[in-house]
Structure 1
Amino acid sequence: MNQKRTFGTVLTILGILGIIIGALAFLGIGNLGLSKLNSAVPFIVGLIFFMAGINLVKTTGDRA
Structure 2
Amino acid sequence: MNLKRIFGALLTFLGIIGLIYAAYLFVNTSTGTRNIKSLVTYGLIGILFFVSGIGLIKTTKDES
TM-score higher than 0.5 here?
A: yes
Task: For CA contacts below 8 A with separation 6 or more, give which structure has more relative contact order.
Answer: 2
Deviation at 1:56, TM superposition (A): 0.1
| Structure 2 alignment gaps of length 5 or more | none
Total equivalences in the alignment: 60
Q: Amino acid of the residue matched to residue 45 of structure 2? A: V
Equivalent position of 1:49 in the other structure: 49
Cα distance in 2 for partners of 1:38, 1:63 equals 41
**Superposition TM-score, scaled by structure 2 size:** 0.86
Cα distance in 2 for partners of 1:45, 1:59 equals 21
Equivalent position of 1:2 in the other structure: 2
Question: Structure 1 residue runs of 4+, over 3 Å off?
Answer: none
Measured on the aligned residues, the alpha-carbon RMSD in Å equals 1.3
**Superposition TM-score, scaled by structure 1 size:** 0.86
Equivalent position of 1:28 in the other structure: 28
Identify, as 1 or 2, the structure richer in helix: 2
